[in-house]
Structure 1
Amino acid sequence: MKNWKFVMASTILGSSVLLGACGGNTAQQGSSGSSGEGNSESETAQLEGKVSGDGSSTVAPIMEGIVEEYAGAQPNVQVTVGVSGTGGGFEKFIQGETDFSNASRPIKEEEAKSLEDAGIDYTEFLLAYDGLSVVVSKENDWVEDLTIEDLKKLWVEDGTTKKWSDINPEWPEENVVFYAPGTDSGTFDYFNEVVLEEEDLVSSATLSEDDNVLVQGIQADPNAIGFFGYAYYQANQDTLKVVKINGVEPTNETIESGEYSPLSRPLFTYANNKAATEEEQVYNFLEYTLENAGEMAEAVGYVALPQEEYDKGKADLEALKQ
């Protein structure tokens, strides 16, 4: 398997990027480090066709790695995955435009109802754990730790101009500059639920579905603060400083244990059952994803699930064919 942390550090995915896997003649040798090697029929039965997905930019680093590794196992299967955000991905999934939809939050009741109305049956698969990370510039030498209450005071729109000194009078009387994922993002939804408690986000925030825009904005401004998935902090930790929340720093250990609460969360992909059962290449790609998601999650900076969770996902996938 490639050094995916190096790849993440050098080329973080943007929301306008399409992840593609379409192998050539030389790709049949496969990817020498693929963790799925020898685990299924995916290395022996050569398939053809297309697989399409969309969704969360948080899940994108995991899926980008899997797509590229899969090209070695199945060079004649073209996999394209958009990264328009969790909500945007579900919109395409509901329209029947995609075979699977990546999400950084569980599906909403209204989205599930829309799928039911459209006659689309689906299955939810867990991929990894993430710790939503609050970050500031390395030049910020005053913020080390914030409470959830501090975050809410900063991020909720209340008609005032927010200053760092509002949180701690010893901090600078400088306006806080906010960067946040766009409203189609599952990360936005999660932060809205657990921090803002459904109140409005501060109106001065720069919003983007492209996490790389957020990274660059925060890097450049000592008064900036923002949040996104743990892997994006990991890939940029030389130029960003992560903020402890309630005294706990996000790490693999604190995310997996749940100590980094309430900002630890699972990451998902949702599969169209009909596509998975009727199109062999879709089933094969989903199987390959579940076989490799844990190792790829760790490689790009997230936290793998216990093996029994991946085994359960594979059993759920296999049950679709019964």
Structure 2
Amino acid sequence: MTDSPSGGLSRRRFLTSSGALGALALAGCTEQSSGSGSGSGSGTGTSAGGSTDSAGGQLSGEITLTGSSTVYPLATAIGNEFQKEHDQVDISLSPTGSGGGFSNHFCVGNSDFNNASRPITQSEQDLCSENGVEYHEINVATDALTVIVNTENDWVDCMTPDQLRQIWRADGASTWADVNADWPDEPIKRFGAADTSGTFDYFNEAILGEEANHTGNYEATEKDNLILQGVQQDQYGIGYFGFAYYQGNQSAVKALGIDNGNGCVKPSIESAKAGEYKPLSRPLFTYPRKEALAEEHIAEFARFYVEQSANADLVSEQIGFVPKTEETMQSELEALNQVISEVQ
């Protein structure tokens, strides 16, 4: 997985990479569908052990997070900050992709949180229910999904959703000239998210819609750095990933604006916050497992995660997402505290 734009992992107790969760059980792949809400079931997954006391004793135990590679840098930064205050808590974070995290880890009860760059789908809700896993949905930030091209690309600075659809749909454009006759008659080299990624799901929904399928003729990966390198090394390359990774690599590639009918709008924190960057602004989530919230160290981390979602210095300046307002953060915190009170 990519390094965090905020500098990566600096504390020795913060465990990352897929190897950190290598012993977790695997389940089948998901299908894309729409859905949201709180899960159902009795909560049969095994929670990491931990301890503290209500008077403020030392927190300790383990916390496992799976899911979105887009949310990964934010979760990393928040985990690092949490461990500055609670160094007896071990946090394992694995960027499995939103769908991979739900299917292979979270919905079979083997992770405490799943980060996601789109809402949980109906098929994932069903899988959680089948395994007795209840969950709570938390909106932690807003992202501006960013389309990138090579810095030597001098023929396009802005695209419409229809032009992007021609490039990324199955049986679509093969060359740049197929999209616009004034563009080079050269093969399009595509680099994008794997189909286990919430970024893939969101791009499909926002750009391709129900009438088209995503092309299989592209380099698919969960690793943003490989998308960046692919586009960086090919003049005719194009790719997409979360804005946070672009913000940390702005000199390496060029971000395209999107003309959704009201002129070209570049991806930025400001344009996403204002609701002007359409249709590629998207909410980001984390889903704690309700049974895991019975453990005090996990409940405290969940509260901290929500509180930090309004920390503009961390969310916006360090990572590159739109933070929650104080009002919306407090609303999320109240809802979380209600869930915690039900399980403790």
| Same fold per superposition (TM over 0.5) | yes
In the alignment, what sits opposite 1:30?
A: none
Q: 2:128 aligns with which of 115, 121, 128?
A: 115
TM (norm. structure 1) is: 0.86
Aligned length: 291
Q: 1:269 aligns with which of 274, 286, 289?
A: 286
In the alignment, what sits opposite 2:49?
A: none
Q: Does structure 2 retain, via aligned residues, the 8 Å contact 1:129–1:304?
A: yes
Q: Does structure 1 retain, via aligned residues, the 8 Å contact 2:166–2:173?
A: no
In the alignment, what sits opposite 2:213?
A: 200
**Displacement, 1:117?**
2.1
**Displacement, 1:310?**
1.2
Instruction: Give, as a single letter, the amino acid of the residue that structure 2 aligns with 1:255.
Output: A
Q: Does structure 1 retain, via aligned residues, the 8 Å contact 2:141–2:324?
A: yes
Q: Counterparts of 1:92-107 in structure 2 under 5 Å?
A: 92-107=105-120
In the alignment, what sits opposite 2:137?
A: 124
Structure 2 unaligned blocks of 5 or more? 9-15, 22-52
Q: Does structure 1 retain, via aligned residues, the 8 Å contact 2:139–2:332?
A: yes
Q: Does structure 2 retain, via aligned residues, the 8 Å contact 1:42–1:288?
A: no
**Displacement, 1:18?**
5.3
Check 1:233–1:274 CA distance in 2 against 1; reply closer, same or farther (3 A cut).
same
User: Which deviations, in whole Å up to 9, do the C-alpha atoms of 1:125-180 show, x marking residues without a partner?
Assistant: 0110001100001111111010000001111111x661111122121111110001
- Identity over aligned pairs, percent: 37
**Displacement, 1:44?**
5.1
Instruction: Give, as a single letter, the amino acid of the residue that structure 1 aligns with 2:88.
Output: N
**Displacement, 1:203?**
2.5
**Displacement, 1:43?**
12
Instruction: Give, as a single letter, the amino acid of the residue that structure 2 aligns with 1:222.
Output: Q
User: Is structure 2 residue 81 aligned with structure 1 residue 69?
Assistant: yes
Q: 1:227 aligns with which of 240, 246, 254?
A: 240
In the alignment, what sits opposite 2:27?
A: none
Check 1:58–1:317 CA distance in 2 against 1; reply closer, same or farther (3 A cut).
same
Q: 1:281 aligns with which of 273, 284, 297?
A: 297
TM (norm. structure 2) is: 0.80
Check 1:50–1:224 CA distance in 2 against 1; reply closer, same or farther (3 A cut).
same
User: Is structure 2 residue 265 aligned with structure 1 residue 248?
Assistant: yes
Q: Does structure 2 retain, via aligned residues, the 8 Å contact 1:165–1:174?
A: yes
**Displacement, 1:316?**
1.2
User: Which deviations, in whole Å up to 9, do the C-alpha atoms of 1:68-112 show, x marking residues without a partner?
Assistant: 111111000101111010001111111100111000000101111
In 1: Cα distance, 2:66 partner to 2:228 partner = 22
User: Which deviations, in whole Å up to 9, do the C-alpha atoms of 1:187-225 show, x marking residues without a partner?
Assistant: 000111111114222222000011111111111111000
Instruction: Give, as a single letter, the amino acid of the residue that structure 2 aligns with 1:202.
Output: T
Instruction: Give, as a single letter, the amino acid of the residue that structure 2 aligns with 1:301.
Output: G
Structure 1 unaligned blocks of 5 or more? 9-13, 20-40
Q: Does structure 2 retain, via aligned residues, the 8 Å contact 1:61–1:300?
A: yes
In 1: Cα distance, 2:266 partner to 2:179 partner = 19
Q: Does structure 2 retain, via aligned residues, the 8 Å contact 1:42–1:73?
A: no
Aligned-residue CA RMSD in angstroms?
2.1
Instruction: Give, as a single letter, the amino acid of the residue that structure 1 aligns with 2:121.
Output: K
In 2: Cα distance, 1:6 partner to 1:193 partner = 29
Instruction: Give, as a single letter, the amino acid of the residue that structure 2 aligns with 1:221.
Output: D
In 2: Cα distance, 1:136 partner to 1:42 partner = 53
Instruction: Give, as a single letter, the amino acid of the residue that structure 2 aligns with 1:73.
Output: E
User: Is structure 2 residue 184 aligned with structure 1 residue 172?
Assistant: yes
Q: Does structure 2 retain, via aligned residues, the 8 Å contact 1:134–1:226?
A: yes
Check 1:17–1:66 CA distance in 2 against 1; reply closer, same or farther (3 A cut).
farther
User: Is structure 2 residue 315 aligned with structure 1 residue 315?
Assistant: no
User: Is structure 2 residue 159 aligned with structure 1 residue 146?
Assistant: yes
